[in-house]
Structure 1
């Protein structure tokens, strides 16, 4: 790459040669091999000289300025702030963050003052912009401080835009977006001391939709709304930012955000694992509580206090002891409750065997309380029934056999049961009249769904022929 090095040496830029080489390789690929590396290097250097870049992936903070075309994916709210000039005079400024993207990536645009106000009022997702600005390191990585923007006709940038994002569509370059999900879990409000001596507050919501689940961190005054919502309500968080923590995405909501209940039906379809198939790692299960023990408190090595509570969950394929740590030990969970436990850490138990651990990264959603589970109704014997039980058994062999077929699940018989889906995966778990059935079906069933299943029992499993 000596020719590439010569071009780089003549270019007045602060980027490292390795980054320039990568831009050259991208250019070669972009031109489908029609240019060699030296020619590609010249084209890249011209982009630097003119400030024009072919795509967002070519933006770099070493550029004094940049010009590129991108599509708006979201428009944040207008924010007002105090600033101080060189003479010490204070004034108010305004800023609006706009997310734009192309097929190669996304970047945040920072628009200021009059341009910020116009963007917040008039700019919409899906519009295509010609952007001129200054790349720099922002709070969440590279961003572009905008000098000028101009609407242009859609030039075929093929990326999706959203009014409200689904969880699977989130990425780290997003801010000022809206997300709606089913409330799966919450954590209590906590206070903490910042490095500057001030006190902060934080609480968390866990939201889920048909594409996944995510944690929403509520900061300072916004944390106080955590107790305003009930599990399984549909909640919309607006003007929130995406962050990455421990290699997982989460949403951050502050004073600039809104959190509200909405009248929407949100389907949450987690991929649950049958307890009999659990292995090491992190799993999501669903089942009923068969045992619930008292909470235990303990003192850690550093002198802090902790708490843990153990429960046993069954799903029709097996049972698992689950340790609930910290705030989760205080949850209102009792025998017979039907739960969804997401992101359990599976490990060896204290007394051997396999055990689940529900920590801060896990969520526990009550599908149904034990008090709400319908009990099997027992019909009081009538005079007619009493007489029937006394009939000559030899005269009623056929009738007795028919009754037996209706009440038991023997292999080969066809049965019909109505109940609630408690687990999904390779098979589904259906609870009906306090009994659990393993259902084999290709249909997409969701947790908590009320269904009637008709089919034949084979090897102890109900093979669904109809589901309605």
Structure 2
């Protein structure tokens, strides 16, 4: 059937004049942004007038893609896959109550929010439309959303087809949902999905607005990449009233903003979907032993004795601001772990000394430079530092590793060893290291991780220790090396430079050190090539004969009992 024959058919069946029909065709083309031909517009006008060509004509109207949509369009027909459905909301306008539903529909060219009104909302409430389905919107109209983005609205004049026939599934790909890690959040992100542990809950606040009373609830979320403040508004705030710290909160369709203190906040409004996963009683948060730490743990509580402290370091962020970090090594009776403290939390550990107890609440674990587990302390974590004097007052039990002989040691044990320093190995003692990651710099002064840096000097002392059952190499680094030599790194550097001998500082102190009996708190590391154990020393003290005698008597008494 030709175009002219179709015009005659519409005139005959509807009674409109050819001039009126031409005006309707031009109006329809304008509504569609000029994207359709005269014949395509005629088909749409004929359908509006109750005339269907489908039984006598094979003509297929032009496809309209998401990228083609314009603000002035009316009577839009568009097809797409439903990739997200938002909760149905109720509203009241001029005393009349109603419901509204919305979803994100996508095709190969992009995605757009489709808003359903009136009876169309039932399709969502009764789950006749589900995520993953392909739908066709007929006679929708384009509006601008609150943020200026385009939306397709479907009111009483429009309709929906679910899984329409003749559709090429490949044109409507399934968009894989991806949860965003908290550490990857940046300002001005839209439709963000996260799943994280609730670390802290703040009371709900009530505020006044034009439409009545509003609610705002703030929680701190944590995952293995960091912490973030989430702010839930009105209906979303009500959905988490029964939440408890330790519960897992899944947020779909949140958005991020820059907070008052320059940090990223996650906001949860009326279009978001919230799922709360309560924590079982047996899984409630408790202090985790250090040997039980795993990657990906969030809102974790740990406690241990400080055995190693690094200098506070400054670094430049990608946005040009300066941050600070400090790192410590703590131990308990099961093992040791490096703790990395960030920014304002550094002030809480600036006075830490070996022997202090460090309690951390709401930390999170990450991978260290060498693939090991680290505990990180961010803005929303809590730190408590307890000095030895305070420990006596609080009757805090000491986290002392088990005493072992050298011949008993296996790989990766955290132990206490009593032995005599037989010999200092005459090796290079002063190294240039990276101020950020503490790695040794290469010959060109470059850090393999951080690039060009301003180096800092660090000491490393290798010694042979003998406990009567075996001999092992003990490695003293950083402050423990300075303590052993009774010499700062800069002083050792000047001595080595003056003498022209990299081992000169060791030779100078060997007479005072060799033959000393020490108690080491250390980690055993097995060299798979040689089969020999090296002790990485975290702290040490002089062996006290009286204390050792009392310990021996105590162990004899326990055996008798």
TM-score (norm. length: structure 1):
0.49
User: Which structure: greater strand fraction?
Assistant: 1
TM-score normalised by the chain length of structure 2: 0.42
